[in-house]
Amino acid sequence: MRRIPLCALLSTMLASSAVFATPADRGQGPVEQVPGIASKLLPGYNRLNDGWSWAGHLDAESYSNLAGGAAQGSTANLLGQLGGRLDTGRAGLWPGGQFTLSGIGILAGADPEGYSAALQTPSNIYAPSELRLYELSFRQQLGAGVQLRLGYDDINHYFGVVGPAENLVNSAFGFTPTITENVPGNGSYPYSALGAMLGVHGDIWGSKLGIFQGDAQHQFTHTFARGYLALWEGGLRWGDAEPDEDSGYVVKVGAWHYRQPHPDLPGLSPSTSGVYTVWEARRELDRGRRLGLFLQGGAAPQSVNPVPWQLALGLRLEQPFLGRPGDSLSLGMTRSWLRSAVLQADEELPAGTVHPAEMAYELTYVAQLRPHLSIQPDIQFIHRPQGVYPDATAALLRVHLEFF
């Protein structure tokens, strides 16, 4: 069974000062895509001099499967990322251009899936141990509200982002499992994909269209020879606040099509399509508290897909205690419906042995110890992992360090 990364970490647990002032400056338009565990690995880039900036982080975690699943046991994972960025306008070259380069290093213990057996993987930073190019891209502003991006990138940086779910550790709160489970070659953490994306936006709306290689695990030896993944997403934001403030409402809808001419190759799936939606609400509460709510859904109902439907919801409360302004508390629930016939064939299971859905419940707390250091205990309960195994209980402890 394929391994899912995310909410692909992969972990921005702390707020950091961004170099760019608005979502449009960051290249994401007025429908804000909040960086975090579910999308951008790096915290806000910090300027070295005119045009140049950099960022880095390190995440270390311990994972234990306390009960149920495939087996009880513990493991540990380590993830580091370092990147740099050049703004051509600030460097005095030409306006509106931006180059980004980053790499990741992963040192992994045993696969958590071997313990919990969950499709919705409890740890979103687990991946095979390696050093890997993660981002090599160029973005150009073509005019007011129009942007073009080319290069290697994580698709979940820009499509299917669930902002208020950024601190949840289960991978299902990132890219919907109706993509990650049904399209093993998709270009999300840790495998970025070669592609192009065109985005346009107005004051309260945004739309983007992208096409990426269909087998991102082979970054340089195969480009589009092993198919492609095309995505479109549109979004609308409204409310009393300005677009760059952490308040208001966001609705995003997306559609995708995966074309694979070689589904018989190991690790790839047949051609398929799907849709997804994300709803977010963020409100300022009393005494500096902020509340974020989210609802996420995905559908890929074709008979070849092992996960035809997914639904997730949850919340994030920032500063749950008045004396802890850098802390946050998050709750989440996700359900992935399972197509029994496909899973039974893949795993050679007897007919009638696969439960129709896998559900995961998560409670996590991010405690800021220093401005760039946090610790995050996390507990998850997973009902019917893979639709087959006994209910599992998993506990994680993650430490997040940002370098500046």
Which of the two residues, 374 and 7, has the higher pLDDT score? 374
Q: Binning pLDDT at 50, 70 and 90, where does residue 240 land?
A: low
Residue 383's pLDDT band (cuts 50, 70, 90) = very high
Q: Does residue 163 lie in a domain region? A: yes
Q: Which residues contact 194 (CB under 8 A, 6 or more apart)?
A: 151, 152, 187, 212, 213, 216, 219, 223
Would you state the pLDDT for residue 217? Answer: 80
Q: Rounded mean pLDDT of the chain?
A: 84
Residue 10 domain-assigned (yes or no): no
pLDDT at 16: 27
Provide CB contacts within 8 A for 10, sequence distance 6+.
Answer: 37, 38, 41, 59, 79, 124, 125, 189
pTM: 0.86
DSSP strands (E only) in 50-129: 52-67, 73-87, 97-108
Instruction: Pick left, alpha or beta for residue 17 (phi over 0 → left; psi -120 to 50 → alpha; otherwise beta).
Output: beta
Tokens of 260: 């694979």
Listed range (17-31, 116-130, 363-377) with the worst mean pLDDT? 17-31
The better pLDDT of the pair 181, 37 is held by 181
What gap in Å lies between CA 49 and CA 333, rounded to an integer?
43
198-239 tens-digit pLDDT: 999 988 899 999 999 988 887 676 677 889 999 999 999 988
- Answer yes or no: is 181 within a domain: yes
| pLDDT number for residue 343 | 72
In a domain, 40, yes or no: no
Q: Which residue has the tokens 């309260």?
A: 204
- Asked if the model's pLDDT at residue 117 lies above 80, the reply is yes
- Does residue 342 contact residue 361 with C-beta atoms inside 8 Å? no
Q: What is the pLDDT of residue 167?
A: 93
Inside any domain, residue 154: yes
Is the pLDDT at 7 greater than 70? The verdict is no
CATH number for 149 = 2.40.160.180
Structure tokens, 62 = 């311990």
| pLDDT, position 347 | 63
Q: Please give the residue range of the domain that contains residue 239.
A: 46-403
Tell the burial category of 86 from Cβ atoms under 10 Å away from its Cβ (0-12, 13-18, 19+).
Answer: middle
Residue 16 lies in a domain: no
Cα–Cα distances in angstroms (integers) from residue 2 to residues 93, 182, 210, 323, 343, in the given order: 44, 10, 24, 43, 12
- The answer to whether residue 35 sits within a structural domain is no
What is the rounded average pLDDT of the residues 284-308?
93
In total, how many domains does the chain have? 1
**What percent of the chain clears pLDDT 90, i.e. is strictly above it?**
61
Is residue 28 in a domain?
no
Cα–Cα dist 181/161, whole Å? 17
